[in-house]
């Protein structure tokens, strides 16, 4: 309900909506201690209101916690100062005009607690205390805004830096043919973690600047292959992905049991999966068919009792290149991409 | 249709805090076989399914699915919710069945984002 009033009258674009969400998340993530002003200007109870006036003026502040020794006893604000001025009483001590009913937050609370208090109390600043109820700092709306902006900027920069580094990988390395190889060990029967290798592969491709459709095709193909290793092998297997500017080669290798009839395995709807696997939503006999649909080239070699090797390739068009290092001459890549589409060995 | 409207149409509840309710849902797909989902679904669709295991989230991530609705009141296990939060995929549980939900969403103008398979000749043709 609060949201409706908060954003009332504000045109919320898609971009803004995304940022609001992240900002709101940050309000729940950031600790008050991370955004507050530490060691704020304080006054003592014996200080005169005139001295307070000078302190406020010199430090350009409009309020300060009041201490008696180490102990937090109150807060003095510009309103209290005006009060004393009106009564022509600025030589009186702070203790006569300070507010003693304190609104505080703990430094270990999240920023959202301070935001709630700003709304409910209409205060401009809230005192922050530590676990032994001593003054730890002071928090204003400005502190919250600055803290969140800084965190947003940091988040953004982190992903940008990762993307930048990854997308220029091949540009900075000079060789006749550069490639990046990712390897993952897949355990048989590991349904809970199943798909995490594919998830990392898709993320790596996106960071390297692959377009989303391409990353999606690779992700779907390798995910089906990863699930096959989990479901059908005796000891799991290895996924190996080689990323080159002009092509992505993915390989799933295992040591058995092997596929007796590869042509039959390729038939839509044919499956040897158990009922248990089917209940998980797999084993419909569509895995290899799906893989074939997603890739430009596929080779399936299997020997019963020895193992299976699935090799797939996706060729990249120049505009889709990953890593900014597409070969300048087509000749240099001709060796692998010519002919031989969708070949199946036995 | 955005996520907030979708939740209200399916009469569901959201399991993943912090989801972007203004996220646009471009269409729908209903299936319990993950390979069918991977084979047929186009990006940014809502997936209606009766399966609640973490593989559903992985499937969603691979296929760029915008949200998942569990049909017939199915409650996802914690590991599914955790993975969904990590991958920022909203999870919704609806008390209604698959047919009812597809109908409700379709009636409100949500198109199908399922690609059909190539038509084989019918038996006897």
The whole-number pLDDT of residue A241 equals 96
Selection from B83, B107, B118, B41 nearest residue A220 by Cα = B41
Q: Is B61 in Cβ contact with A216 (below 8 Å)?
A: no
Q: Is B18 in Cβ contact with A21 (below 8 Å)?
A: yes
Integer Cα distance of A248 and A312 in angstroms:
8
Say if B68 is an interface residue toward chain A (CB within 8 Å): no
Encode pLDDT of A7-39 as tens digits. Answer: 444 455 555 555 556 677 777 788 899 899 888
Q: Which residue, chain included where needed, has tokens 């990353």?
A: A215
B12 class by beta-carbon count within 10 Å (0-12 exposed, 13-18 middle, 19+ buried)? buried
Q: Which residue, chain included where needed, has tokens 């997603």?
A: A294
Say if B86 is an interface residue toward chain A (CB within 8 Å): no
> B10 and B108 in contact (C-beta within 8 Å)?
no
Residue of A nearest to B60 (CA): A220
Is the peptide bond between A140 and the residue preceding it cis, with omega within 30 degrees of 0?
Answer: no
The whole-number pLDDT of residue A17 equals 53
What does A203-270 look like in DSSP terms, one character per residue? HHHHHTT--HHHHHHHHHHHHHHHHHHHHH-SS-EEEEEEEETTEEEEEEEE-SS--S-HHHHTSTT-
Q: Which two tokens stand for residue A269?
A: 């709807």
Q: What is the mean pLDDT of each run of 10 residues along chain B (125 residues)?
A: 95 90 92 89 94 94 95 94 93 96 96 87 85
What does chain B look like in DSSP terms, one character per residue? -BHHHHHHHTT-EE-STT--TT-B--EEEE-S-HHHHHHHBPTTEEEEES--SHHHHHHHHHTT--EEEESTTPPPPHHHHHHHHHTT--EEE-SS-HHHHHHHHHHTTPPB-BPPPPPPPPTT-
Q: Which two tokens stand for residue A95?
A: 């203790």
The whole-number pLDDT of residue A297 equals 94
Q: What is the CA radius of gyration of chain B?
A: 14
Q: Is B62 in Cβ contact with A194 (below 8 Å)?
A: no
Residue of A nearest to B52 (CA): A280
> B27 and B115 in contact (C-beta within 8 Å)?
no
Please state the ipTM of this predicted complex. Answer: 0.86
Q: For residue B32, which residues of chain A lie inside 8 Å, CB to CB?
A: 281
User: What is the maximal distance between C-alpha atoms in chain B?
Assistant: 54
pTM here is 0.62
End-to-end alpha-carbon separation of chain A, Å?
A: 64
> A307 and A255 in contact (C-beta within 8 Å)?
yes
Query: What separation in angstroms does the CA of A310 have from each of A232, A344, B35?
Result: 13, 10, 18
The whole-number pLDDT of residue B75 equals 94
* pLDDT-flagged residues of chain A (< 70): 1-22, 319-346
Q: Is B62 in Cβ contact with A220 (below 8 Å)?
A: yes
- Minimal C-alpha gap between A290 and chain B (Å): 6
Q: For residue B54, which residues of chain A lie inside 8 Å, CB to CB?
A: 191-192, 194-195
Integer Cα distance of A125 and A114 in angstroms:
9
Q: Is B18 in Cβ contact with A24 (below 8 Å)?
A: yes
Q: Which two tokens stand for residue A85?
A: 């001025």
Q: What is the CA radius of gyration of chain A?
A: 32
Q: For residue B34, which residues of chain A lie inside 8 Å, CB to CB?
A: 280-282
The whole-number pLDDT of residue A325 equals 56
End-to-end alpha-carbon separation of chain B, Å?
A: 41
The whole-number pLDDT of residue A177 equals 83
Selection from A271, A272, A229 nearest residue A254 by Cα = A229
The whole-number pLDDT of residue A45 equals 92
């Amino acid at each position: 309900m609060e949201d409706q009033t908060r954003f009332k009258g504000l045109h919320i674009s898609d971009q803004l909506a995304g940022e609001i969400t992240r900002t709101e998340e940050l309000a729940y993530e950031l600790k008050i201690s991370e955004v507050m002003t530490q060691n704020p200007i304080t006054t003592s109870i014996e200080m005169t209101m005139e001295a307070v006036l000078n302190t406020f003026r010199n430090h350009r502040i409009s309020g300060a916690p009041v201490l008696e020794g180490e102990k937090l006893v109150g807060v003095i604000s510009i309103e209290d100062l005006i009060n004393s001025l009106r009564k022509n009483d600025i030589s009186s001590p702070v203790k006569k005009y300070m507010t003693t009913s304190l609104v505080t937050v703990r430094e270990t609370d999240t920023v959202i607690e301070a935001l709630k208090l700003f709304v409910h109390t209409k205060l401009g600043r809230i005192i922050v205390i530590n676990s032994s109820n001593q003054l730890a700092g002071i928090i204003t709306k400005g502190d919250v805004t600055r803290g969140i902006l800084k965190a947003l900027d940091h988040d953004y920069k982190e992903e940008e830096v990762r993307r930048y580094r990854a997308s220029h990988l091949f540009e900075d390395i000079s060789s006749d043919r550069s490639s990046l190889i990712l390897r993952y060990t897949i355990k048989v029967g590991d349904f809970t973690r199943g798909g995490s290798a594919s998830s990392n592969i898709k993320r790596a491709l996106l960071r390297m600047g692959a377009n989303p459709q391409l990353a999606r095709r690779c992700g779907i193909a390798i995910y089906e292959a990863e699930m096959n290793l989990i479901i059908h092998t005796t000891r799991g297997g290895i996924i190996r992905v080689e990323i080159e500017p002009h092509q992505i080669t993915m390989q799933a290798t295992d040591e058995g049991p092997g596929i007796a009839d590869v042509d039959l395995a390729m038939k839509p709807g044919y499956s040897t999966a158990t009922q248990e696997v089917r209940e998980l939503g797999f084993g419909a006999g569509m895995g290899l068919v799906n893989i074939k649909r997603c890739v430009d080239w596929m080779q399936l070699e299997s020997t019963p009792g020895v193992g299976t090797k699935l090799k797939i390739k996706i060729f990249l068009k120049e505009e889709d290149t990953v890593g900014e290092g597409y070969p300048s001459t087509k000749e240099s890549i001709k060796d692998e991409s010519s002919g031989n589409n969708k070949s199946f060995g036995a | 249709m955005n996520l907030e409207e979708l939740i209200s149409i399916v009469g569901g509840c959201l399991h993943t805090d912090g989801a972007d309710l203004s996220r646009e849902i471009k269409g729908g797909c209903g299936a319990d076989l993950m390979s069918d989902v991977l084979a047929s679904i186009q990006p940014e669709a809502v997936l209606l399914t009766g399966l609640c295991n973490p593989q559903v989230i992985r499937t969603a991530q691979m296929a760029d699915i915008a949200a998942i609705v569990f049909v017939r009141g199915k409650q996802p296990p914690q590991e599914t919710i955790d993975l969904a939060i990590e991958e920022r995929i909203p999870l919704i549980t609806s008390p209604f069945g698959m047919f009812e939900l597809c109908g409700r969403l379709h009636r409100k103008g949500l198109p199908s984002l399922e690609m059909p398979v190539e038509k084989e000749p019918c038996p006897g043709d």
